[in-house]
Structure 1
């Protein structure tokens, strides 16, 4: 029950994140601003996440349910603030408020798994909850594809606000069920020492720190693609509805991948290999989009990217939960923060290159390949040390 309600809230949060991404050009005309400005309606989410990831994680490790309720309230409030006036200023204010709630929602995944699931089911629970976040992007992209045109921007904003309100109410009702063993009040592994202890447990762990390094580039690449793929494909003759459909199908592939790939990798101990394959597939997608941009290329390459890359997140969260007991949400916050920091940097760079699509995709290709040495660095921790002779 709790995981179902959480899934609805995760859907709402991510639907708000990508509300304007599949209708970038229509939104720019509707609000009377340049296309690059519309990108900030999405980019504010990773930017705020970078600032609040650690405080939100600490709050969730100490007070799981109240902090999660705060995230739900901020998400719904931000969604409705966008309706105060039909202009870019209020759209940005509402997005910013919802963005403040996002870390309290997304960082809660490992804590909910520990609090409400038996240990043998936690990897599957993390995967399912992560799937819900990507399903939210599917909802956002499908709504954009179904409501194209400058005249439907207000309707799109209203529909996503209703989704956020309903999800928030469901979560608050579900959280009346208490976690097992008092989790969410005083973390057992943290010894009741509070926020300082949780931060030391999470950041002091070498596995968590190196997972953060792994997350920066691939997750940043995906955020940049999700934000700007529509205007980048426009010069190749790909329409806004088609681009929205491509993004929606990419996210559907990601949801399917998250339901299957992390569980398979966990059972076989192949987490690192799967993440390496995801980086390689994403790099190949960027290469093909730079050389032969078209609707067909986008469909084929981005579906593969969604299926392989998005499961890397729940894999990383599951690995962090194992290595930072009692500070699961703080560790998750560090990983999400690293990925969103990569998103801020790469999306900003792509925004500057939005009129030169080939160069933008080439830049994402080069950045994505940097994830491979970071992954090798992480893998060295679990490699046995040769004895000294």
Structure 2
């Protein structure tokens, strides 16, 4: 690898509209409005996952067709994450505003009856998603004082998993109550209200000035990729976040041969996600001291490998459930832990591009590992073994994670 490069911040922080002096504070109204909008994108993403069969019947299409309503999100994210991250560094508020508008528009398009309109709506939201999610680091840099930025990033990322959990729990009940129209109408109200709330909040002035990216696109990408922490974190998110996406997709199929029912798997995934929300909210602040982030990342990979090993063995079931709950707690905490460190290590004018690269690799890991397991479903031990191997191969890179510097 090339020598380690990281951003060394100036001794004086300049604030938009403020002369250098006392810390300006934190605009929680903007950060919380962003969290609601980010959560809404995930709410819409997994809307059909728990009601795939019923949705196919109501529309008269195949189950695979309904599956594409969710699969389009990571596919487009991989394609758009880096260019949209660069655009965020060039025109931050404009790209965020477009993301909010597209999220609300996509939710409204789904109100028109018919599968084709649902697909168009999902595509609009999937285009909005990188505009919104890539902004989490730069938004924290502009609206939160340095000591509060880990909390701001944690709130923005925990909201993603809250949106997933809310959609997974409520969609089946809404489907039973009023069919797809009830699902679409309820989620449209939440998405549009979140978009409008954020657009109003975005009008507030940033507290901290962040320089605009001046480099050309390819030069900016080369610079960002030259940072060792970007390459290390990309690999860790490919393995960790990719593993979580794969488990939520195939855990039911991998558990059936050892006598775990679909209902029990549903409870396990729910426990993983709920534990992950707690982890994403509370772990980053603790981990933002010295080498603690390395401990968190190491523990997440080690526990994941242990959970997969006992899943392959098939017993004891209570230990499998406990380990996967702990896996969710640690794996989902990895995302804000990594993003917090990346925000601190990268130049503020490159925050969007850096976040785009990291989140692109997380989604790419989900696609690659999901397809790899799908190809090996007839060979269950081998499928699980591939996941264990990926996790163990990522472990030696954890010591390369930068320690928290003594000052911002």
Alignment TM class, shorter chain as reference: 0.7 to 0.9
What's the counterpart of residue 64 of structure 1? 92
What's the counterpart of residue 333 of structure 2? 311
| 1:37/1:256 CA distance change after superposition, 3 Å | same
Answer yes or no: is 1:272 the counterpart of 2:299. no
What's the counterpart of residue 335 of structure 1? 358
How do 1:115-126 and structure 2 match up within 5 A?
A: 115-126=142-153
What's the counterpart of residue 193 of structure 2? 166
Q: Take 1:281 and 1:73, find their aligned partners in 2: how far apart are those partners? A: 40
How do 1:60-139 and structure 2 match up within 5 A?
A: 60-87=88-115, 89-139=116-166
| 1:373/1:23 CA distance change after superposition, 3 Å | farther
| 1:144/1:374 CA distance change after superposition, 3 Å | farther
Q: Take 1:163 and 1:344, find their aligned partners in 2: how far apart are those partners? A: 28
| 1:22/1:363 CA distance change after superposition, 3 Å | farther
Matched residue pairs, number? 373
Answer yes or no: is 1:238 the counterpart of 2:261. yes
Contact 1:134 1:254 in 2 (8 A): yes
SS in 2 for 1:267: coil
Contact 1:54 1:334 in 2 (8 A): yes
What is the Cα deviation at residue 156 of structure 1? Answer: 2.4
What is the Cα deviation at residue 357 of structure 1? Answer: 5.9
What's the counterpart of residue 225 of structure 1? 247
What is the Cα deviation at residue 50 of structure 1? Answer: 0.7
| 1:279/1:268 CA distance change after superposition, 3 Å | same
TM-score (norm 2): 0.82
SS in 2 for 1:180: coil
What is the Cα deviation at residue 30 of structure 1? Answer: 4.2
How do 1:319-358 and structure 2 match up within 5 A?
A: 319-325=341-347, 326-353=349-376
What's the counterpart of residue 51 of structure 1? 79
Answer yes or no: is 1:259 the counterpart of 2:281. yes
Contact 2:32 2:155 in 1 (8 A): no
What is the Cα deviation at residue 230 of structure 1? Answer: 4.7
Contact 2:175 2:182 in 1 (8 A): no
What is the Cα deviation at residue 45 of structure 1? Answer: 1.2
Contact 2:307 2:324 in 1 (8 A): yes
What value does the CA root-mean-square deviation take over the aligned residues? 2.9
The runs of 5 or more residues in structure 2 that have no matched partner are 1-28, 404-408
Q: Take 1:40 and 1:297, find their aligned partners in 2: how far apart are those partners? A: 34
What's the counterpart of residue 40 of structure 2? 12
What is the Cα deviation at residue 151 of structure 1? Answer: 7.2
What is the Cα deviation at residue 61 of structure 1? Answer: 1.3
Contact 1:290 1:359 in 2 (8 A): no
Contact 2:308 2:388 in 1 (8 A): yes
Q: Take 1:193 and 1:332, find their aligned partners in 2: how far apart are those partners? A: 17
Contact 1:61 1:198 in 2 (8 A): no
What is the Cα deviation at residue 341 of structure 1? Answer: 0.7
**Which piece of structure 1 moves more, 200-209 or 44-53?**
200-209
SS in 2 for 1:156: helix
Q: Take 1:323 and 1:92, find their aligned partners in 2: how far apart are those partners? A: 39
Answer yes or no: is 1:203 the counterpart of 2:230. no
Higher radius of gyration, 1 or 2: 2
| 1:68/1:271 CA distance change after superposition, 3 Å | same
What is the Cα deviation at residue 113 of structure 1? Answer: 0.7
The runs of 5 or more residues in structure 1 that have no matched partner are 383-389
| 1:181/1:259 CA distance change after superposition, 3 Å | closer
| 1:103/1:138 CA distance change after superposition, 3 Å | same
Q: Take 2:317 and 2:39, find their aligned partners in 1: how far apart are those partners? A: 26
Contact 1:141 1:244 in 2 (8 A): no
What is the Cα deviation at residue 302 of structure 1? Answer: 2.9
| 1:47/1:68 CA distance change after superposition, 3 Å | same
Q: Take 2:391 and 2:105, find their aligned partners in 1: how far apart are those partners? A: 35
Contact 2:88 2:352 in 1 (8 A): yes
What is the Cα deviation at residue 17 of structure 1? Answer: 1.8
- Deviations for 1:228-262, whole angstroms, at most 9, x for unmatched residues? 4455556746346x544443332221111112211
